[in-house]
Amino acid sequence: MENTKVIVGLGSCGLAAGAGKVYEKIKQLKENQNLQFELKKTSCIGMCFREPLVEIIDNNGSYIYGDVTEATATEILEKHIQNATPIKEYVVKTDLFVTKDKNFFEGQVKIALRNCGYMDPESIEEYQARNGYKSIEKISTQNISRTEVIQTVMDSGLRGRGGGGFSTGLKWRFANNNKSDIKYIICNADEGDPGAFMDRSVLEGDPHSVLEGMIIGAYAIEASEGWIYCRAEYPLAIKRLNIAMDQARKKGYLGKNIFGIEGFDFDIHIKEGAGAFVCGEETALIASIEGQRGMPRKRPPFPAASGLWRKPTNINNVETFANIPWIILNGATAFAKYGTEKSKGTKVFALTGKIKNGGLVEVPMGITIRDIVFKLGGGIINDKKFKAVQLGGPSGGCIPEYLADTIVDYDSVNATGAIMGSGGMVVMDETTCMVDMARFFLDFTKKESCGKCTFCRIGTQRMLEILTRITEGEGKESDIDTLIELSNQIKDSSLCGLGQTAPNPVLTTIKYFKDEYEAHIRDKKCPSKSCKALLTFEIIPDKCTGCMLCKKVCPVDAIDGERKLIHVIKQEMCIKCGMCFSKCKFEAITVR
């Protein structure tokens, strides 16, 4: 027991699931029973669907327990710690025997997430024990020049993981070529789609990797000051970033003459954003750091030439920076061996929606969407039919089931009409209405528009009105053509990426699910039985027992009938709340 470690996952997802209470319970039991093990904290390992997670490392190996409660924590300590008997049915990951969730980790290659869940994110010593800051040390001791660092990043094939997919090394070269007495480097930690969950998890679980990536980037482009733009809604990420920066300064990794490199002075600040989606766009982000309203600027000039306070500036997102130290330490070839010809390395995805294993996965580029959904993600909840994935966040696009063998790389995903984005992957099943889904995402982008561009500001509003009308059964035959026309005008006339991509959910759902739009408009029916305004609830006479339960729960007295007699729903009064359908014990109510 003396060499045993008990590690509790205390990322935001774990804390939301009750991991804080589990940690305190284990701490209490350890003290009360004088148990001799080391209690430690870590962050998310990506297995969010099994939170809270507790890992026990003993002389035999590692065991990760899932769905841990205060009660099961007590049982685990008693049987595993005190009696050396692991509880196999609670274990979700181990190398010692097969677990039912083993497929979640098979096929993953962790580079950006290499340290998340494997160390205490508030300990610089633990980061260093996992090769932390070895990359910048390698640059210093081997006298690797700035141009050599940039060339290594270019040779690795790393493309920006924030959504655009532009060559990271080429971006650094542009910033390096623009000479100035002051240069800046910025980490964009403000993506507002489900992929932002990945940013938050890295910042919470491995903040030093982002700092080290920024330090290397600053060296490469000769920047003297850095900013991390992080939304204020991520308090744990900001807390751990501040701890990491303080530790790095004390070690001399931030400040003057970093790692003995004469004249290399660099420090980092945090700018807490208000969570505006448009600030994921680099020029809007720059405006926000400068204290202005977050609105995009016309380009050129690009930030590499005139960015923050009109000085040369480089911007990359969290995942991009987290990859950099690994690439410098292991070499460009080691990174480029993963992926496809034009999309190298790995990509982190945040799986959400109608999927069994929701959480974070990091996979080699080139894997198929189907493998992510069914092998790592475990398939669809309740084994319903897989319908589509929304890839690329609110302004991404829908990829239907019949294109699920599309490989994950920038070119292949873009060819479907979707975008890679920062890694949000929303899985949908047969109960998802694609028209309503497009309406939902457009409602978000409409609200997040900064209003600077007329087509984005007004065009998205008009599109939302049309989509709302269609889902309420008031659509017109001309609506589909109008939506396409408006979409193209918004894409062509908007200044920034928000407006240019906002119509993607609409265009892709029309492209792949036009029949659903036509059913809503022509037949006044929702094929997925999701749009309430288009539903009709009816009682099946042969199945009705006259139990009166539906009549009792109806909030508007829209059901006629006496005990043991067949009931009838008065359609003119029905508000389509579905209470009768959900409460009927005899499947006597149908929806059409």
Q: What architecture (CATH level 2) is domain 346-429?
A: Roll (3.10)
Distance CA 509, CA 391 (A): 12
In this prediction, residues 111-130 reach a mean pLDDT of 97
Is the predicted pLDDT of residue 196 greater than 70, yes or no? no
CB neighbours of residue 80 within 10 Å = 22
Domain 5-100 top-level CATH class = alpha beta
Nearest to 117 by CA among 86, 148, 93: 93
Band (192; pLDDT cuts 50, 70, 90): low
The ranges assigned to domains in the chain are: 5-100, 124-336, 346-429, 434-523, 535-591
How far is 355 from 379, CA to CA, in rounded Å? 6
User: What's the pLDDT score for residue 497?
Assistant: 86
Class at the top of the CATH hierarchy for domain 535-591: alpha beta
How many Å from the N-terminal Cα to the C-terminal Cα in the chain? 61
pLDDT at 1: 59
- Residues 6 or more apart whose CB falls under 8 angstroms from that of 134 comprise 128, 325, 329
pTM: 0.93
DSSP-derived letter for residue 308 is G
Pairing of strands 91-94, 267-273: unpaired
Residues 399-426 pLDDT 10s: 999 999 999 999 999 999 998 887 889 9
Tracing tokens 């265009």 back to the chain, one arrives at: 507
Confidence tier at 100 by pLDDT (50, 70, 90): confident
Instruction: Kindly tell me if the per-residue pLDDT of 208 is higher than 90.
Output: yes
Residue 569, token pair as written in the block: 């729903």
- Tokens, residue 169: 């090394």
CA 202/CA 112 separation, integer angstroms: 8
pLDDT score, position 460: 96
pLDDT value of position 430: 95
Angstrom CA distances, 509 to 131, 307, 438, stand at 46, 37, 7
pLDDT digits (tens, 9 = 90+) for 26-74: 999 999 999 999 999 999 899 999 999 999 999 999 999 999 999 999 9
Give me the mean pLDDT over the 235-254 stretch: 96
Whole-number pLDDT of residue 164? 78
Query: Residues 395-405: pLDDT tens digits?
Result: 889 999 999 99
pLDDT tens-digit series, residues 134-180:
999 999 999 999 999 999 999 999 999 987 789 999 999 999 999 99
Rg (CA), the chain: 27
pLDDT at residue number 395: 85
- Contact between 238 and 210 (Cβ < 8 Å): no
3-class DSSP state for residue 47?
A: coil
What would the pLDDT profile of 323-359 be if each residue is shown by its tens digit? 999 999 999 999 999 999 999 999 999 999 999 999 9
Asked whether residue 194 carries a pLDDT value surpassing 70, the answer given is no
Give whole-number Cα distances, 315 to 34, 161, 288, in Å: 50, 11, 14
Peptide bond into 52 cis (omega under 30): yes
Query: Chain-wide mean pLDDT for the chain?
Result: 94
**Whether the Cβ atoms of residue 216 and residue 136 lie closer than 8 Å to each other:** yes
Highest mean pLDDT among 125-134, 446-455, 563-572: 125-134
Above 70 in pLDDT, residue 2?
A: no
- Fold adopted by 434-523: de novo design (two linked rop proteins) (1.20.1440)
Residue 195 has pLDDT above 60, yes or no: no
In angstroms, rounded to a whole number, what is the distance separating the alpha carbons of residues 436 and 432?
A: 8
> The CATH number of 124-336 is which of 3.40.50.2300, 3.30.1330.30, 3.30.390.30, 3.40.50.11540?
3.40.50.11540
| pLDDT, average across residues 548-568 | 93
